[in-house]
Chain A
Amino acid sequence: MKAVKRYGLRLRRKKFLVRAWRKGRSLLDVVNRTSGIKPADTLCIVTLRNERVRMPFFLEYYRDKGVGHFLFVDNGSDDGTLEFLAEQPDCSVWMTDASYKRSRFGMDWVNHLLRRYGHGHWCLVVDPDEFLVYPFCDTRPIPALTDWLDASSIRSFGAMLLDMYPKGPISTQPYRSGQDPFEIACWFDAGNYSIERNWQFGNLWIQGGPRARAFFAEKPARAPALNKIPLVKWDKSFCFASSTHMLLPRGLNLVYDEWGGEKTSGILLHAKFIDTFGAKAAEELERRQHYANSAEYRAYKEGLEQDPDFWTKWSERYINWRQLEILGLMSKGNWA
Chain B
Amino acid sequence: MSTVGFVMLCHTALNRAAEVARHLAERDCPVVIHVDKRVSRQDFSGLQKALADLDNIRFSKRHRCEWGTWSLVVASQTASELMLAEFPGVRHVYLSSGSCLPLRPVADLRDYLAARPMTDFIESVTTKDVDWTIDGLNAERFQFRFPFSWKRHRFLFDRYVELQRRTGFRRGLPPGVVPHLGSQWWCLTRQTLSAILQDPARRENDAYFKLVWIPDESYYQTLARNYSRHIESRSLTLSKFDFQGKPHVFYDDHLHLLKRSDCFVARKIWPQADRLYQTFLDPAHTGSSMAEPAPGKIDRVFAKALERRTRGRAGLYMHSRFPNKDWENGKTSGPYSVFQGFNDLFEDFETWLSRRLGSRVHGNLFDPKKARFAGDQDIYAGCLSSAAALRDYNPERFISNLIWNTRGERQVFQFSPRDTQDVGAFLAADTNAQISVITGAWAVRMFAANRDFASIRDESARLQKREMEFVNTLRHVRTRAEVRIWTLAEFIEEPMENLQSILDAMDGATALRLTEAPRMANLDGFGQFLQNLKNQGMNPFIMGDFPTTPTGLQPKSSDTRPYLVR
Q: Name A residues whose Cβ lies closer than 8 Å to a Cβ of B.
A: 136, 139-141, 143-144, 147-148, 151-152, 158-160, 189-197, 204, 206-207, 209-210, 212-213, 216-221, 227, 255-265, 312-316, 328-336
B244 at the interface (CB under 8 A from A): yes
Beyond A221-B393, A329-B318, A334-B243, whether A213 also contacts B382 by CB under 8 A is: no
CB <8 Å contact, A152 and B246: yes
Nearest A residue to B391 by beta-carbon distance?
Answer: A220
Please, could you name 28 A-B residue pairs with CB atoms under 8 Å apart, sorted by A?
Answer: A139-B252, A144-B270, A147-B249, A158-B320, A160-B318, A190-B405, A191-B382, A192-B382, A192-B390, A195-B394, A197-B322, A206-B319, A207-B393, A212-B385, A220-B390, A256-B321, A256-B322, A257-B323, A262-B308, A262-B318, A314-B379, A314-B381, A314-B383, A314-B384, A328-B318, A330-B320, A331-B320, A331-B321
Question: Within the complex, what minimum Cβ distance (angstroms) separates B256 from chain A?
Answer: 12
CB pair B319 A227 closer than 8 Å: yes
* Structural contact, B302 and A336, CB atoms closer than 8 A: yes
- Decide if B549 is an interface residue (CB 8 Å cutoff): no
Q: How many angstroms from the CA of A328 to the CA of B322 in the assembled complex?
A: 12
Residues of A contacting B397 in the complex (Cβ-Cβ under 8 angstroms): 193-195
Given known pairs A334-B242, A336-B305, the reply for A256 and B319 (CB within 8 Å) is yes
Residues of A within 8 A of B390 (CB): 192, 194, 212-213, 216-217, 220
Residue pair A336, B382 in contact (C-beta under 8 Å): no
Known pairs A147-B270, A210-B383, A213-B383; A258 contacts B309 (CB<8 A): no
Which among B321, B380, B381 is the interface contact of A257 at CB below 8 angstroms? Answer: B321
A135–B152 alpha-carbon span in the complex (Å): 31
Could you tell me if B305 and A333 are in contact, using CB atoms closer than 8 angstroms?
Answer: yes
Let me know if B253 and A262 touch, CB within 8 A.
no
- In this complex, what residue of A is CB-closest to B384? A192
Q: Is B465 an interface residue (CB 8 A)?
A: no
Q: Are A255 and B320 in contact (CB under 8 A)?
A: yes
What is the minimal beta-carbon distance from A100 to any residue of chain B, in angstroms?
27
Q: Most chain-B CB neighbours within 10 Å: which of A148, A221, A262?
A: A262
Quick one: closest A residue to B298, CB to CB? A336
Max count, chain B CB within 10 A of own CB: residue among A190, A227, A255, A328: A328
**CB closest residue in chain A, given B382:** A191
Q: A195-B317, A315-B383 are in contact. Are A220 and B389 (CB under 8 A)?
A: yes
Give the CA-CA distance A265 to B319 in the complex, in Å. 8
Q: Of all chain B residues, which has the CB nearest A266?
A: B320
Q: Which residues of A lie under 8 Å from residue B322 when comparing CB positions?
A: 195, 197, 204, 256-258
Also in contact, A263 and B320, with CB within 8 A (given A139-B252, A333-B305): yes
A220 CB contacts on chain B under 8 angstroms: 389-390, 393
CA distance A220 to B320 in the complex (A): 22
Please, which residues of chain A bring their CB within 8 A of the CB of B243? 334
Kindly list chain B residues whose C-beta atoms are within 8 Å of the C-beta of A264: 320
Any A CB within 8 A of the CB of B500: no
Interface band, chain B: 35 or more
Closest CB in chain A relative to B277 CB, distance in Å: 14
Interface pair B246/A257, CB less than 8 Å apart: no
In the complex, whether B566 has a CB less than 8 A from a CB of chain A is: no
Contacts of B387 on A, CB cut-off 8 Å?
Answer: 213, 217-218
Nearest to A228 among chain B residues (CB) is B319
Asked if A194 and B394 make an inter-chain contact with CB atoms under 8 angstroms apart, the answer reads: yes
Q: Which residues of A contact B249 (CB under 8 A)?
A: 147-148, 151
Is B272 engaged at the interface, CB distance under 8 Å to the other chain?
Answer: yes
Please tell me if the beta carbons of B385 and A255 are within 8 angstroms of each other in the complex: no
On chain B, the residues within 8 Å of A151 by CB distance are 246, 249
Interface residues of B (CB under 8 A from A): 242-244, 246, 248-249, 251-253, 270, 272, 301-302, 304-306, 308-313, 316-324, 327-329, 379-385, 387, 389-390, 393-394, 397-398, 401, 404-405
CB-based nearest A residue for B312: A262
Please give, as numbers and ranges, the residues of chain B lying within 8 Å of A197 by CB-CB distance.
Answer: 322
CB-defined contacts of A190 to chain B, threshold 8 Å: 382-383, 405
Majority SS at the chain B contact face: mixed
| Complex: A44 Cα to B59 Cα, angstroms | 41
6 closest A-B pairs by beta carbon, nearest first, are A191-B382, A334-B309, A265-B320, A336-B305, A189-B383, A194-B394
With a CB–CB cut-off of 8 A, which chain B residues contact A160? 318-319
Assess whether B320 is in contact with A140, with CB atoms less than 8 Å apart.
Answer: no
Interfacial chain A residues near B253, Cβ < 8 Å: 136, 139-140
Beyond A217-B389, A263-B309, list 5 extra A-B contacts (CB 8 Å): A144-B251, A151-B246, A158-B320, A195-B317, A216-B390
Closest residue of chain B to A257 (Cβ to Cβ) is: B321
Q: Flag if B383 contacts A333 (CB, 8 Å).
A: no
Is the beta-carbon distance between B305 and A328 smaller than 8 angstroms?
Answer: no
> A289 vs B306: C-alpha distance in the bound complex, in angstroms?
46
- List the A residue with the shortest CB-CB distance to B257: A336
Given contacts A151-B249, A158-B320, contact A334 B380 (CB under 8 A): no
Residues of A close to B248: CB separation below 8 A: 336
Residues from chain A with a CB closer than 8 A to the CB of B308 are: 261-262, 331-334
Contacts of B329 in A (CB 8 A): 260
Give Cα A195–Cα B270 distance, bound, in whole angstroms. 35
B382/A261 in contact, CB under 8 A: no
Q: Which B residues are CB-close (under 8 A) to A195?
A: 317-319, 322, 394, 397
Query: Among B322, B324, B398, B401, which residue has the most Cβ atoms of chain A within 10 A?
Result: B322
CA distance A158 to B157 in the complex (A): 31
B379 and A259 form a contact (CB under 8 A): no
B394 cross-chain contacts in A, Cβ below 8 A: 194-196
- Closest residue on chain B to residue A212 by CB atoms: B390
Taken together as a complex, chains A and B put the C-alpha atoms of A220 and B385 apart, in Å, by: 12
Name the B residues within 8 Å of A140 (CB-CB).
251-253
Most chain A beta carbons < 10 A, residue from B270, B304, B401, B404: B401
A68 to B313, CA, bound (A): 35
**Least distance between B269 CB and chain A CB atoms (Å):** 12
Query: Bound state CA distance, A152 and B246, in angstroms?
Result: 7
Closest to A227 in B: B319
> CA of A70 to CA of B387 in the docked complex: distance in angstroms?
42
A152 and B245 CA atoms in complex are apart in Å by 10
Of A136, A190, A197, A261, most buried by chain B (CB within 10 Å of CB) is A261
Across the interface, do A193 and B380 meet the contact criterion of CB distance under 8 Å?
A: no
User: Which of A206, A313, A328, A336 is in CB contact (< 8 Å) with B304?
Assistant: A336
Please measure, in the bound complex, the distance between the C-alpha atom of A189 and the C-alpha atom of B382, giving whole angstroms: 6
CB neighbours of A158 from chain B (8 A): 319-320
Contact indicator A262/B313 (Cβ below 8 Å):
yes
Judge whether B312 and A260 touch: CB under 8 Å: yes
How many whole Å from B403's CB to the nearest CB in chain A? 10
How distant is the Cα of A193 from the Cα of B302 in the complex, in angstroms?
30
In the assembled complex, which residues on chain A have CB atoms less than 8 Å from the CB atom of B270? 144, 147
B324 touches A194 (CB 8 A): no
A159 CA to B320 CA in the complex, in Å?
8
Chain B residues near A336 (CB, 8 Å)?
248, 301-302, 304-305
Q: How far is the CB of A217 from chain B (nearest CB, A)?
A: 4
A262 touches B309 (CB 8 A): yes
